[in-house]
A and B are shown apart, each in its own frame.
Chain A
Amino acid sequence: MPDSPLRVLIVDDEAPARRRLRDLLDDCASALPLAIIGEAQHGREALELLQSAPADLVLTDIHMPDMDGVELARHLLKLPHPPVVIFTTAFHEHAVQAFELNAVDYLMKPIRVQRLLSALHKIPRLKPVTAEKLAQLPTTARRFLSVTERSRVVLVPVEDVVYLKAELKYITIRTSQREYLLEESLTRLETEFGARFVRVHRNCLAARDHIRGFERRVNDDGDAHWEVLLAGVPETLPVSRRQQFVVRDMGRETAA
């Protein structure tokens, strides 16, 4: 790789910040061969760009609309060749502490050209940060779940998810359109998204916003249980005996 130029993508929602980084990278170009492959205004745009034009390095701001820098880094890990991510931040005391703790690379804005250059020199030796470390950073819940399909990263907006069901190794994401397979832990997802989903069964989280109601069903053996009726999908989900209180709680909420 030392022979080919370092491919860099700039991600920042503020145009002046992008221009500044471009200027600085131009200054570095004499010391180190590099090519700016593009600029993106937020994480989602960056991810789209990277699907067609791979990069070695992504310089990304943290606070951005639509998809922030930390979430972008988490989705980038699903790419066949994840780029190295260096965060740029103007001021974020707590984030900076977390970065130090997890050895995540970051640059403080305004960035000095020397700091940038030394960071660039380290790139070939750096490995992408692990998902565990990224999850440690103080960030809000992701806005998208990402799945790999035919070596492309597909984003599923969290608000489209009707339910998440653990099956064998995978989690099935169900939207009103179709199903996706996700390799994550249901418990982690439950913690991350908190009140958005409710656990109706040991292996299943249903989106509160998509729950239409509950129905009492009696099977052939005479055992009765509740089924969750969902908006947008025809199938229903069984409520386990242990989670029956959910029916009562949510029934009360809707009644109130």
Chain B
Amino acid sequence: MNAGERAFVKSREQAPAPENRPKQMGQGTLAAEALTRRAQCLHGTSDMAAIIRQNPNRPALPDFRNMGTVLRILVTVNLGAAVVAYARAPQLSATFIEWVEATSFVEPYLLLVLAVLWAAAPRLSRLPYSVGAGLVAAITVFSGLALFAAMNRLSPMPPGALTNWMVYGLISAGVLLFYFHLRARALSPAITEARLQALQARIRPHFLFNSINAVLSLVRSNPKRAEVALEDMAELFRVLMRDNRDLTPLEDEVELCRQYLDLEQLRLGDRLTVDWNVKSMPADALVPPLMLQPLLENAVYHGIEPSSTPGTVSINLFLSRGEVHAILKNPYRTAGGNHHSGNKMALANVRERLALHFDAEASLESRVTKDAYEVHIRIPYRTQAANSATGVPTVTGPMPGRDDDSRDASARIAMPEAARA
């Protein structure tokens, strides 16, 4: 089976699974079973057994440069300090004093450790997990020693303070590492899911058949245009059916969107005007594949199709203070009844995938202005070059084992169930 066929099988596997599959265990498990059965048919049972035994959850350290990670550490340690303060206070009223006292050493210590981890993050991420975790513990201990020495020189510390520091520091580090490990394990099937979701974000069948119909109408009168349209469709479906787990350069996504909108233009003619503002876009920025296309499809479906008067879809991509911004606008049509129901799903899909890839550093907001519907995406500016230089993974969780042999496809199909089992 070649790659194309595999992709097609995968996309068809999607069909029986309802949209809300990831959330609902009952249906989700059923769908996963169906996938497994299908995979068994395709690859034979012996192969399957090996795949299920595979453990895709290689433990990995969190990305210490991700704002989400940093925020989680800050909140956890400070909560811990509050709990300790409460426990140590003889009565409730003294808790605050204890807490202030605790923070006077907790905060500088915490910030120092975070700073060191930030600096060491690219190197740490390349080490095996156990070595990395050991190094994090070592960083905790040595930062504590250094800070204690410095502060002791300024004002002498009470006896036994150093031991307390070490104990609290190491307990916090241990608890947090365990937490991030669990979180990564919880997210790892989700990352696989991100690929499946990208497939779910795929083009509406309505669009496929209407486009084929439009191409058919051109075959007799304008064969040249029909050729281009078919090439655009092939290109579009190639992207829709491939493994969409990895980030892709923004310019590729833009090219895909152009092809998509060309096809829509063919159907809708003068009714659709596209306004591209991409001159200052960071072409090399890495984005989740199919980040913009489903939103543009929405823009056309909800903003252009319900009206016979022409409308403009505008795309604005730019870089601002280390962040990539994408602003998509389309006319807002209140009339049209059920035409709006599918909108939320595509938005939720893109939002969820942004969260999986970038955690708290990305956002998607939508709003209705006077007569336009606007979606604003904000993601951190990351490039292929920067990633390979520093080795910072582009996802916050661990990447499941990636090998490109032929069983890889079925391994991924089986993964949701294996992860749940």
Contact B308 A16 (CB under 8 A): no
Complex CA distance for A143 and B205, rounded to whole angstroms: 26
Contact with B along A14-39 (1 / 0, CB 8 A): 11110110010000000000000000
Whether A165 sits at the interface, judged by CB under 8 Å, is no
Contact B209 A110 (CB under 8 A): yes
Q: How far is the CB of B265 from chain A (nearest CB, A)?
A: 11
Q: How far is the CB of B211 from chain A (nearest CB, A)?
A: 9
Contact B337 A90 (CB under 8 A): no
Whether A199 sits at the interface, judged by CB under 8 Å, is no
With contacts A140-B338, A141-B337 taken as known, whether A14 is within 8 angstroms of B214 at the C-beta atoms is: yes
Complex CA distance for A137 and B308, rounded to whole angstroms: 23
Q: Is the interface of A mostly helix, strand, loop or mixed?
A: loop
Contact B308 A13 (CB under 8 A): yes
Contact partners of B217 in chain A: CB under 8 A:
16-17, 19-20, 23
Pick from B122-130, B266-274, B313-321 the stretch touching chain A.
Answer: B266-274
Q: How far is the CB of B240 from chain A (nearest CB, A)?
A: 16
Closest to B209 in A: A90
Whether A245 sits at the interface, judged by CB under 8 Å, is no
Closest to A45 in B: B308
Whether A170 sits at the interface, judged by CB under 8 Å, is no
What is the size, in residues, of chain B's interface with A at 8 Å between Cβ atoms? 26
Contact partners of B306 in chain A: CB under 8 A:
65
Contact with A along B329-355 (1 / 0, CB 8 A): 000000111100000000000000000
Which of B209, B210, B266 has the most chain A CB within a 10 Å cutoff? B210
Q: How far is the CB of B8 from chain A (nearest CB, A)?
A: 18
Contact B209 A91 (CB under 8 A): yes
Contact partners of B210 in chain A: CB under 8 A:
14, 17, 90-91, 109
Whether A63 sits at the interface, judged by CB under 8 Å, is yes
Closest to A44 in B: B308
Q: How far is the CB of B301 from chain A (nearest CB, A)?
A: 10
Contact partners of A146 in chain B: CB under 8 A:
none
Contact B206 A90 (CB under 8 A): yes
Contact B337 A14 (CB under 8 A): no
With contacts A42-B308, A90-B206 taken as known, whether A110 is within 8 angstroms of B338 at the C-beta atoms is: no
Complex CA distance for A23 and B305, rounded to whole angstroms: 24
With contacts A16-B218, A20-B217 taken as known, whether A65 is within 8 angstroms of B308 at the C-beta atoms is: yes
Q: How far is the CB of A112 from chain B (nearest CB, A)?
A: 10
Complex CA distance for A242 and B213, rounded to whole angstroms: 55
Whether B221 sits at the interface, judged by CB under 8 Å, is yes
Whether A66 sits at the interface, judged by CB under 8 Å, is yes
Contact B308 A92 (CB under 8 A): no
Interface residues of B in 253-303 (CB under 8 A from A): 266-269
Contact partners of A15 in chain B: CB under 8 A:
269
Complex CA distance for A91 and B209, rounded to whole angstroms: 7
Complex CA distance for A66 and B306, rounded to whole angstroms: 7
Contact A14 B335 (CB under 8 A): no
Whether B406 sits at the interface, judged by CB under 8 Å, is no
Contact B308 A140 (CB under 8 A): no
Closest to A93 in B: B205
Whether A60 sits at the interface, judged by CB under 8 Å, is no
Closest to B212 in A: A110
Contact with B along A95-121 (1 / 0, CB 8 A): 000000000000011100000000000
Complex CA distance for A19 and B213, rounded to whole angstroms: 10
Q: Which of A13, A91, A140 contacts B206 (CB 8 A)?
A: A91
Contact B335 A143 (CB under 8 A): yes
Q: How far is the CB of B242 from chain A (nearest CB, A)?
A: 23
Contact partners of A63 in chain B: CB under 8 A:
206, 305
Contact partners of B268 in chain A: CB under 8 A:
14
Contact A16 B266 (CB under 8 A): yes
With contacts A65-B308, A66-B308, A110-B216 taken as known, whether A16 is within 8 angstroms of B208 at the C-beta atoms is: no
Pairs of residues from A and B, 9 with the lowest C-beta to C-beta distance, nearest first:
A140-B337, A20-B217, A90-B209, A16-B217, A16-B214, A91-B205, A65-B308, A90-B210, A19-B217
Show the binding face of B for A, using Cβ within 8 Å: 204-206, 208-210, 212-214, 216-218, 220-221, 266-269, 305-308, 335-338
**Can you report 14 A-B residue pairs in the complex whose CB atoms are below 8 A from each other?**
A14-B213, A16-B217, A23-B217, A65-B305, A65-B306, A65-B308, A90-B205, A90-B210, A92-B206, A110-B209, A110-B212, A110-B213, A140-B336, A140-B338
